Chains A and B, each alone.
Chain A
């Protein structure tokens, strides 16, 4: 970490060469995808073999082995969608600005990487909890609302954010 930034002056200057930079990006994303697939497959609550992931994708084990090889550079968007679907996870692809990208490549998918498959009950419970939290942080102050007068009661709700002590 360079003074709070995920890049140093040397690092970005060394990537000034466009061809080098393009190849560097290509290898980082291929490596990341390969490691991500393996990390999700080996996640303790899944602990799937390559064959098991292949079975869920309708592909033979050797295809999964290739997908987990950073040197395999021919993965299609369709294949990525199929991989994500096999884990019951969504897919998100972005073309970020460099500053964001440098931050993202610091987060290498590894064993500790855990992502939960779709669970409607869990997601719904979070929505309910968020709604309750939002309701409790709002104070309905009726006629005492900001800008209201005693003669003109209001049901305006103002957001109340407690100040840190």
Chain B
């Protein structure tokens, strides 16, 4: 472990970002938060909770959806695999497409077809599919 004061940490981060690579959409699993962070644009963003699984990231510039944070994903996938055996089929070697997680949650909720929540999930499914978003973690 390396302890840093704030100036050292800021300098360390700036160095880490050099040379600045071109942005690539990513979906990354973080074991410390048991969460998947999914981002398709480099914009600064603000977050809004949709439900206990999904928090949506909106671009500060365009206010379009550019990503999401999925919390408690290990437990969610275990639960869904028990509840919907077909879900387990979609998990290959610990990898799962994010669109399947969003769809499983959408099917499990009682949201109305035209509700904001449903429309938000549909948008997330669309961008996850378009970007082939996949995350790998110990889920079942």
* A and B physically associate: no
Question: Contact residues of B with A, CB < 8 Å?
Answer: none
